Amino acid sequence: MAYTEEELKKELETKEYEYGFYTDIESDTFPKGLNEDIVRAISKKKNEPQWMTDWRLEAFRIWESMEEPEWANVNYEKPDFQAISYYSAPKKADPNKTLDDVDPELLEMYRKLGISVDEQKKLQNVAVDIVVDSVSVATTFKKTLAEKGIIFMPISEAIQEHPELVKKYMGTVVPKTDNFYAALNSAVFTDGSFCYIPKGVKCPMELSTYFRINEGGTGQFERTLVIADESSYVSYLEGCTAPSRDENQLHAAVVELIALDDAEIKYSTVQNWFPGNAEGKGGVYNFVTKRAICEKNAKVSWTQVETGSAVTWKYPSCILKGDNSIGEFYSIAVTNNYQQADTGTKMIHLGKNTKSTIISKGISAGKSQNSYRGLVQVGSRALNARNFSQCDSLLMGNECGAHTFPYIEAKNKTAQIEHEATTSKIGEDQIFYCNQRGIDTEKAIALIVNGFSKEVLNKLPMEFAVEAQKLLEISLEGSVG
Amino acid sequence: MELKDKLVSSFIAFEDNVDVEHSVHDIRTEAIKNFEAKGFPTKKEEAWKYTSLNNLRKIDFSLFPKTENTIEYKDVKQYFLHEIDTYKIVFVDGVYSSYLSETTHDGVDICLMSAALTKDMYKPVIDVYFNKVASKDESLTTLNTAFSKEGAYIYIPKNKMPKKPIEILHFSTGNEASLLLQPRNLVVVEENAEVQIIERHQSLTDNNVLTNAVTEVFAADNAIVDIYKLQNDNANASLIDNTYIDQKNKSVVKVHTFSFGGKLTRNNLNFYQNGEYIDSIMKGVTILGEKQHVDHHTLVHHIEPNCESHQDYKGIYGESSTGVFNGKIIVDKIAQKTNAFQQNNNILISDKATINTKPQLEIFADDVKCSHGCTIGQLDEDALFYLQSRGIPIKEARALLMYAFANNVLESVRIPELKSRINALIANKLGVSLGFDL
């Protein structure tokens, strides 16, 4: 055999984070710490109207009265919220400049990441709203979208240009009081994306945002708001990679999706932030609140591939408020070395004839801990609610853990709920079978893992599926024989 | 006075009546300290998320019943498995009733905890086993430990098997307006030994009764233990049943729980597999109506390799009843080749009934097969129509389907008379008479 298990393990451990580099851009950074003045300063910096400043301040006061949650199945050193700088903007950014004016250093960074803006623009038919640290530096395809009446812009611009929409919807799905990190985000969010699809419009291209954390010691607090008006459709992609840093970095985003009557939103995420090195040092803390609300006949589909971050705490959820609405959740979470992931979904059935599907695949290797935590709740008026959940875990090596915490609460007799979960390892006979046919062990594992994850990978848009498959391979190469 | 304070302060009075020289005294003192620190569990605790004890805590329970409440055998005959001969350990309001009981020391010890805790001849067994597997941390278990005095004591030596099954019955007469009972049982089954135990709590009036029972079971190598728990109590009776089971190599322990009644029933069933090639089996049928509440909490801790566990719980919930199932499987790092299965199927037959279920896996070993399945659904409309089209009235048709639903749990009941007894209870609960057994 070409590889022994030992060699494979060694290779994996020494495999450096591929995207671990640091781009030196002069940043306009706030002093560390958080108080009302900082919140006001962020608001001022963003040139926000008074109502927005008040909204932030209220969130800040709520946050101050809250305590950091402890219930997740993860252990980590609590971030010191006074040691974080809450605003950092690349200095050379100018909202009016075109793609040609973009800082060549930044373009170089994207090139390394393999997501050339030009390429995407021309070849992949993707409009990219790039966020580096906190300010958007390039927005493409805006014109094409504008013709259809689609609004796709950084949320800070949306607050200026479409205050009525922002005011109406922001905080309606994830209220300021929702949880510790959502309150923090509401107070200090610096940027993010805003998207509005008008009535009856089918968005002609996949909308995409790439978030990165760049400046050391800065947290990133994005706020994404996607509104699909009646009978519209949008597919939104979000991809993440972060440069390698020693210090733990905090990321607390809030994503709100609003699908009005008959609308459909497809939200896909590939998350590959720095997971820390083989000793578990460094890495990003990813504490995200994602939630969608579905009105009548609406459909929201979450797809996520989670391979990065040292600690992940993320539950994209659907509130199925309208009759006949549909919620879907497809997830692959891969953990290696000392990574910890506590992720899953919540499906809240409130309307009649609502349906939800949950497919969750967890793969744990090294010394990592991977948890699925989910809630399926059927309210007493949710007639004929239907849910199917499947949570499969794959364990590689005997030092990792896989956990499932599914909560199922039914208050209606017409509810039909099925939940299945399995835990297993890659069968020796499966690998033997591949070896026998001339496929080496590493390829065999990739093959089996791909097969294991196929149900979820299939749900990703084409260009993301390729990237995701690559990520799976990088994260797991040679984990176990 | 808060029930907690009342309990803590009456511990001193309790101590006056027991032997404080005995080694168990330290265990009791330690336990009351823990309970005093922790108090009753609240809904804020994850394990009690769906079950609240608040209403029970408001009741002014009497802790030490007046002695000697006699009842006639004919009045309670129906609660015994009288079709067959059994050993019986019977308690009336927490006090042993020698009149109703049938104990033995013939090769095996089937007798009383109070005797075992005071007589020197039992000391070697008590020292080795008492309070060894029960939690020293969980507040209700430690509450029981602090007041442990009476209950069943069963010791089956190597290669022995009692001639007949053992019935443990707890009656409450209702002579007290509200009564708190805390029976403490110890079951030790040595190598190659076997035992069958039927446990029942029954109140004879509608007065408030709260039972906080703890049973410790030790199954040595190759031991076989069958425990049947029958829970069909009155509308004001509540039961918190804590069972701790320690298993050694190749032992097989089966626990069947049949929950058909009571106001609030909480079953904490904990299996610890301290050996290899162990099989742990948990089965349950729950049929509830009115405002009843049943909470099944199971834990299987796979500590050693090559073991199996099987869980199968079926629930049918009507009227305003609430069902909770929380099954937890932990597989330790060295427990390779573990096979753990968990199944929880539920039928809701009323608009006001609620089910909360949380099957939970925590796995640290890679070469394992673990799965859990959970469903919530209704009776199959097509099957109902089929039966009706063949002249079976809707009520019987429904009952027939529910019978079928519960069937595979009953299949493993090894005492035929008990099986038909449970069949009758199910038929009664569903309000039909089918004229046949499953």
Residue with tokens 């020693």: A246
pLDDT at position A446 is 81
Cβ B355–A396 below 8 Å, yes or no?
A: no
Nearest C-alpha neighbor of A209 from the set A170, A181, A238, A249? A238
pLDDT at position A5 is 54
Cβ A413–B378 below 8 Å, yes or no?
A: yes
Q: What angle do CA B92, B97, B98 make, to 5 degrees?
A: 170
Nearest C-alpha neighbor of A106 from the set A186, A212, A203, A33? A212
pLDDT at position A94 is 42
Q: What is the spatial distance between Cα A86 and Cα B420, in angstroms, rounded to a whole number?
A: 70
pLDDT at position A121 is 45
Q: Per DSSP, what are the bridge partners of residue B240? A: B212, B266
A405, A415, A416 ranked by CB distance to B358: nearest = A405
Cα of B313 to nearest chain A Cα, Å: 14
> Are β-strands A27-29 and A88-90 bridged in parallel, bridged antiparallel, or unpaired?
antiparallel
Q: What is the spatial distance between Cα A423 and Cα B119, in angstroms, rounded to a whole number?
A: 49
Residue A112 lies in a domain: no
Specify burial of residue A86 (Cβ count, 10 A radius: 0-12, 13-18, 19+): buried
- Answer whether residue A303 shows pLDDT above 50: yes
Q: Which residue of A has its CA nearest to B317?
A: A413
Q: Which residue of B has its CA nearest to A368?
A: B364
Cβ A406–B358 below 8 Å, yes or no?
A: yes
Helix, strand or coil, per DSSP, at residue B111: strand
Q: What is the spatial distance between Cα B266 and Cα B277, in angstroms, rounded to a whole number?
A: 29
Q: What is the spatial distance between Cα A392 and Cα B371, in angstroms, rounded to a whole number?
A: 9
Mean pLDDT computed over A33-48: 81
pLDDT at position A2 is 44
Q: Which residue of B has its CA nearest to A423?
A: B370
Question: CB contact, 8 Å: A413 with chain B?
Answer: yes
> How far, in Å, are A11, A426, A437, B367 from residue A443 at the CA level?
14, 13, 12, 21
Interface size A-B, in CB pairs within 8 Å, comes to 116
pLDDT at position A269 is 85
Q: What is the spatial distance between Cα B5 and Cα B416, in angstroms, rounded to a whole number?
A: 46
Task: Give the helix ranges, DSSP H, for B17-85.
Answer: 24-38, 54-57, 73-76
Interface test with A, best of B326, B334, B363 (most A CBs within 10 A): B363
Among A162-166, A393-397, B190-194, B284-288, whose mean pLDDT is lowest? A393-397
Cβ neighbours of residue A359 closer than 8 Å, sequence gap 6 or more:
A329, A330, A331, A389, A390, A455, A456
Q: What is the spatial distance between Cα A218 and Cα A224, in angstroms, rounded to a whole number?
A: 19
Cβ A406–B374 below 8 Å, yes or no?
A: yes
Residue-wise pLDDT tens digits, A324-359: 999 999 998 888 888 888 889 999 999 999 999 999
Mean pLDDT computed over A459-467: 73
Reported in sequence order, the residue ranges of A336-400 that DSSP labels E, i.e. its strands, are 340-343, 346-349, 355-364, 369-378, 386-395
Q: What is the spatial distance between Cα B173 and Cα B264, in angstroms, rounded to a whole number?
A: 19
pLDDT at position B48 is 86
Cα of A402 to nearest chain B Cα, Å: 5
Residues in chain B: 438
Residue A98 lies in a domain: no
Cα of B277 to nearest chain A Cα, Å: 19
Residue-wise pLDDT tens digits, B143-152: 888 888 888 9
Q: What is the spatial distance between Cα B264 and Cα A373, in angstroms, rounded to a whole number?
A: 28
pLDDT at position B301 is 94
Cβ B354–A425 below 8 Å, yes or no?
A: no
Q: What is the spatial distance between Cα B370 and Cα B339, in angstroms, rounded to a whole number?
A: 6
- The DSSP element (H or E) to which B284 belongs, if any, is strand B279-288
- Evaluate whether A298 touches A334 at the Cβ level (below 8 Å): no
- Evaluate whether B35 touches B146 at the Cβ level (below 8 Å): yes
Among A34-38, A144-148, A186-190, A213-217, whose mean pLDDT is lowest? A213-217
For residue A266, the enclosing domain spans 5-86+149-476
Q: What is the spatial distance between Cα B125 and Cα B121, in angstroms, rounded to a whole number?
A: 9
Cβ A417–B376 below 8 Å, yes or no?
A: yes
Work out whether the CA dihedral A277, A283, A287, A288 comes out positive or negative. Answer: negative
Residues in chain A: 481
* Tokens standing for residue A189: 């969010």
Count CA atoms within 13 Å of residue B404 on its CB side.
10
Q: Per DSSP, what are the bridge partners of residue B201? A: B170
The model carries a pTM of 0.80
Residue-wise pLDDT tens digits, A94-137: 444 445 555 555 555 555 555 545 444 433 444 555 555 444 44
Tell me the pLDDT of chain B (438 aa) as tens digits.
678 788 888 887 777 777 667 778 888 888 888 888 888 888 888 888 888 888 888 887 877 766 566 788 887 888 888 888 889 898 888 888 888 888 888 888 888 888 888 888 888 888 888 888 888 888 889 988 888 888 899 999 999 898 899 999 988 887 777 888 889 999 999 999 999 999 998 888 888 888 999 999 999 999 999 999 988 888 888 999 999 999 999 999 999 999 988 889 999 999 999 999 999 999 999 988 888 999 999 999 999 999 999 999 999 988 889 999 998 999 988 888 888 999 899 988 888 888 998 888 888 888 888 888 888 888 888 999 999 999 988 888 888 888 888 888 888 888 888 888 888 888 888 777 666 554
Q: What is the spatial distance between Cα A473 and Cα A194, in angstroms, rounded to a whole number?
A: 32
> Are β-strands A284-294 and A254-259 bridged in parallel, bridged antiparallel, or unpaired?
parallel
Q: What is the spatial distance between Cα A153 and Cα B350, in angstroms, rounded to a whole number?
A: 50
Q: How far apart are the first and last CA of chain A?
A: 11
Binding-face residues of A in 305-364 toward B, CB within 8 A = none
Q: What is the spatial distance between Cα B350 and Cα B8, in angstroms, rounded to a whole number?
A: 41
Cβ B366–A412 below 8 Å, yes or no?
A: no
Angle between helices B381-389 and B394-410 (to 10 degrees): 120
Question: CB contact, 8 Å: A119 with chain B?
Answer: no
Cβ B375–A421 below 8 Å, yes or no?
A: no
Residue A417 lies in a domain: yes
> How far, in Å, are A86, A88, A236, A260, B79 from residue A170 at the CA level?
20, 23, 18, 14, 62
Residue-wise pLDDT tens digits, A209-242: 655 454 444 457 888 899 999 999 998 887 755 4
Interface test with A, best of B313, B334, B361 (most A CBs within 10 A): B361
Residue A371 lies in a domain: yes
Q: What is the spatial distance between Cα A396 and Cα A448, in angstroms, rounded to a whole number?
A: 12
pLDDT at position A3 is 47
B350, B362, B373 ranked by CB distance to A403: nearest = B362
* Tokens standing for residue B376: 């919530």
Considering only CB atoms, which chain A residues are within 8 Å of B359?
404, 406, 419, 421
Cα of A275 to nearest chain B Cα, Å: 21
Cβ A423–B361 below 8 Å, yes or no?
A: yes
**What residues of B are in the A interface, CB distance below 8 Å?**
46, 333, 336, 346, 348-378
The single-letter DSSP state of residue B53 is -
pLDDT at position A240 is 59
Q: What is the spatial distance between Cα A150 and Cα A137, in angstroms, rounded to a whole number?
A: 20
Interface test with B, best of A404, A418, A429 (most B CBs within 10 A): A404
Residue A390 lies in a domain: yes
Q: What is the spatial distance between Cα B235 and Cα B257, in angstroms, rounded to a whole number?
A: 18
Cβ B368–A404 below 8 Å, yes or no?
A: no
Cβ A417–B375 below 8 Å, yes or no?
A: yes
Q: What is the spatial distance between Cα A452 and Cα A444, in angstroms, rounded to a whole number?
A: 12
Q: Give residue A475's identity as a one-letter amino acid code.
A: S
pLDDT at position B390 is 93
Cβ A405–B360 below 8 Å, yes or no?
A: yes
Sequence spans of domains, chain B: 3-274, 380-438
- Evaluate whether B366 touches B383 at the Cβ level (below 8 Å): no
pLDDT at position A297 is 93
Cα of B193 to nearest chain A Cα, Å: 34
Q: What angle do CA A102, A103, A108 make, to 5 degrees?
A: 105
Interface test with B, best of A414, A417, A420, A423 (most B CBs within 10 A): A423
B353, B355, B377 ranked by CB distance to A416: nearest = B377
Q: Is A133 left (phi over 0), alpha (psi -120 to 50) or beta?
A: left
Residue A173 lies in a domain: yes
Cα of A403 to nearest chain B Cα, Å: 4
Q: What is the spatial distance between Cα B146 and Cα B185, in angstroms, rounded to a whole number?
A: 14
3-state DSSP helix/strand/coil percent for chain B, to nearest 5? 25, 40, 40
Cβ B375–A397 below 8 Å, yes or no?
A: no
> Are β-strands B184-189 and B279-288 bridged in parallel, bridged antiparallel, or unpaired?
unpaired
Question: CB contact, 8 Å: A415 with chain B?
Answer: yes
Count CA atoms within 13 Å of residue B216 on its CB side.
23
Residue-wise pLDDT tens digits, A1-14: 444 556 545 554 55
Helix, strand or coil, per DSSP, at residue A217: coil
- A81 phi/psi in degrees, rounded to 5: -70, -15
Q: How many domains does chain A have?
A: 1
Cβ B361–A380 below 8 Å, yes or no?
A: no
Considering only CB atoms, which chain B residues are within 8 Å of A480?
366
Residue A91 lies in a domain: no
* Mean pLDDT rounded to a whole number for chain A: 77
Cα of A58 to nearest chain B Cα, Å: 27
- The DSSP element (H or E) to which B216 belongs, if any, is strand B208-219
* Tokens standing for residue B417: 């008379």
Cβ B365–A417 below 8 Å, yes or no?
A: no
Q: Per DSSP, what are the bridge partners of residue B354? A: B322
A378, A402, A419 ranked by CB distance to B363: nearest = A402
Mean pLDDT computed over A169-188: 87
Q: Which residue of B has its CA nearest to A363?
A: B366
Residue A368 lies in a domain: yes
Interface pTM, i.e. ipTM: 0.74
A395, A407, A416 ranked by CB distance to B376: nearest = A416
Q: What is the spatial distance between Cα A167 and Cα B420, in angstroms, rounded to a whole number?
A: 66
Q: Which contacts of A138-145 are long-range, i.e. CB under 8 A and separated by 24 or more positions?
A: A138/A99, A138/A102, A140/A99, A141/A205, A144/A204, A144/A205, A145/A203, A145/A205
Specify burial of residue B13 (Cβ count, 10 A radius: 0-12, 13-18, 19+): exposed
* Tokens standing for residue A11: 């290779």
> How far, in Å, are B80, B169, B238 from residue B416 at the CA level?
14, 19, 28
